[in-house]
Structure formats: C-alpha cells, structure tokens
Amino acid sequence: MRIVRLANFITPCSGGLRTALRELGAGYAAAGHEPVLVMPGAADQDEQTPQGRVITLRGPVLPLSGGYRLLLSRRRVMDILESLRPDRLEVSDRTTLRWTGPWARRHDVPAVMVSHESVAGLLALPLRTRRHGSPGLPPAGAAGRMVQGLARVIADTLNARTAQAYAQVVCTTRWAAAEFERLGVRNLLHVPLGVDLELFSPRRRSPALRQRYAAPGEVLIVHCGRLSVEKKPHRSIDALHRLHHRPHQRRHVAGHGRRGARARAGGDLRPGRAGGNGVWHAGRGERFGGAARGDRGRRGDGER
C-alpha cells in the first residue's frame, strides 16, 4: 500500500514533527508498505531513505518562525499527488494543506489529518507582545483575553472544517485532542506518542557525566529543546532567576535556535540530561514533548 504523507512546518535539522515522520515512515516500510513523504525544503530533491521515498519541494521560510518552511504551491503538490496515486493520504498541517482532504475524497483516497499541536496556541504567538523583555508572553488583562479569544475562534473554525474534510483526525496528545473534543468531533482518534525505552533507559544514567556539570550536592537543571519563540526558552531562564537565592544550582541548555543568545546568557549550552535532577520543555503551543517524554522513559515511567 502506498502511503503518501504531506507535512509543513519542518525545521532543517530538528523538531518533533521531523522525528515522528521519520519513525512513522520507517515503521510503514518495515510493515511492507510504500511510504512517500512530501515536505518543504530549501531546494527540490527526491531521494530514497530508511523512512521511504522523500520528495522535497522548494518552499519559502515562514517569517519569524525560526526556520519553518511551507508547501504553498497547490499546483505542484497536486501534480505530485496525481502522479503518485496514493492508496492512503496522511496530512500534518490543517492550515495551508487542508484542501487535500476534498482532493482525496474526489479521488476515493482515504485521508487522515494528523494533529500534533494546539492551533490556538500557535496562532496566538504572533499576536502576543513583549513584557519585561520576554517575547511570547501574552498581554495582561483584557488585551490578553482578547488575543486568546481571537486565536480560539480562528482555531475552532479551522478544526471544524478539518474534521469535515478528512475521514479521520488523529491527535498525538490529549492537549491537541482537546480542541476537537470541545467541538464534539466524532471522527477523532487519540494515538499517543511513545518513547524509545532502549535509548531513554534508566540504565543510561551517567554519574560521570553529571560530575562534569555539577558538583556533589548541587542541583542540575537541564533545558532541552529548540531555542525558538514557540518553545519559550526564556521561561527556564526566568525560573532560574527566581531561584537565584537558592545556592548550589547549575543549569545546562541542550538545543539551538534563534533564541540561543539569550539562553546562553542564562546558562551553559552543553548537554547533561543523563545526569540531571530535572528536565523541562517550556512551550505550550506545541506538545510533542519529545524531550520530556524521553526523560520520563529515562526515569522508568515512559509511555510506549
């Protein structure tokens, strides 16, 4: 069975969506199917990979997004779909690619929309203002409620139309599913993400690695995530500043992105998860939470 997958909002070298797509493709291929991924990139490309065939179409960078690219040419995407003649269609963007649902219906192709994030949360990001030098914080009072209300109205419209356009809506988290549940969507399915318990295992805890970053008796806090606005890396810095009166603490940041300079100002940019006392991922608009889930697996209570 040829499973064609379409996705937007993919960064060049990191991100939960990229990881999920890679693992899904590899799983489909191992099960004997023919997975094909169509995604945006800096240049056109067509290659065979362990996750199956990957077709990259040149797409523009979304401004102020930290490097996300989009498939905006409907004609090019439609030509690719018609040439591939998929048996199944999976789409991971309910904003600019929602038109593929009606296309699939016209061509008798069962289609699924995979929802990984909170659209209301993501839509609110460009509408938010600065406060105390921290980007991405909502305005206080009535202005904040207006921003959140507007984002929710837009999200509800997109989600209602998405549910009508596709045979099934699959949400990877309860956070993402909540937007559809409040609309009473019936073709909704929750399929939780899992954790590789071989990679994120309690057996991998490393006292030697911990000693490189924190002395005995010190608390080691690790921020793990891409340093971009929607991930809110400033929250870990602000939290550390509030805890400055408590001695014997060290913070380390594992990640990179547009907000890297400020993150480096608040802590060292070095990995230390294998020996940390606490790990956090501060973004609310997206809830892959791969870093947090991996840490849960490392402690032995991960979700398969």
Considering only residues 57 and 273, tell me which one the structure prediction assigns the higher pLDDT.
57
Which amino acid does the sequence have at 122?
A: L
Name the residue with higher pLDDT: 67 or 2.
2
In angstroms, what CA-CA distances link 252 with 125, 185, 214, 248, 276? 26, 42, 10, 14, 9
Domain shared by 110 and 156, yes or no: yes
Identify whether residues 216 and 291 lie together within a single domain.
yes
Looking up residue 77, the CATH number of its domain turns out to be 3.40.50.2000
In a domain, 90, yes or no: yes
In a shared domain, residues 242 and 279: yes
Q: Are residues 267 and 168 in the same domain?
A: no
How many distinct structural domains can be found in the chain? 2
Q: From 112, 233, 120, select the one nearest 171 (Cα to Cα).
A: 112
**CB atoms closer than 10 angstroms to residue 137:** 17
Domain end call among 162, 190, 218: 190
Alpha carbon distance 257, 17 (integer Å): 16
Q: Please tell me the predicted confidence (pLDDT) of residue 223.
A: 73
| pLDDT higher than threshold 70 for residue 257 | no
**Is 152 found in the same domain as 116?**
yes
61 — pLDDT class (breaks 50, 70, 90):
confident
pLDDT at 264 over 60: no
Q: Own/partner pairs for 266-273, CB < 8 Å, 24+ apart? A: 266/236, 266/237, 266/240, 266/241, 267/223, 267/236, 267/237, 267/240, 268/213, 270/213, 271/222, 272/209, 272/210, 272/212, 272/213, 272/214, 272/220, 272/222, 273/222, 273/224, 273/298
The tens digit of pLDDT for each residue in 203-223 reads 888 888 888 878 887 777 777
In 3D, which of 246, 221, 247, 248 has the Cα closest to residue 236? 221
Distances (CA, A) of 272 to 102, 205, 252: 47, 10, 7
Confidence band of 253 (pLDDT split at 50, 70, 90): low
Residues 130 and 211 in one domain: no
Domain stop point among 140, 162, 190: 190
In this predicted structure, which of 19-28, 88-97, 193-202, 295-304 has the lowest mean pLDDT?
A: 295-304
In a domain, 197, yes or no: no
Q: Is residue 148 part of a domain?
A: yes
Whether residue 196 lies inside any domain: the answer is no
Look at residue 148 in the predicted model and tell me its pLDDT.
78
- Grouping H, G, I as helix, E, B as strand and the rest as coil, residue 81 is helix
Q: Look at the block and give the residue holding tokens 């398969």.
A: 304
Domain end residue (candidates: 190, 218, 244) = 190
In which domain, by residue range, is 39 found? Answer: 2-190
Residue 125 domain-assigned (yes or no): yes
Query: Do 155 and 260 sit in the same domain of this protein?
Result: no
Domain match, 184 and 217 both: no
Same domain? For 58 and 103 the reply is yes
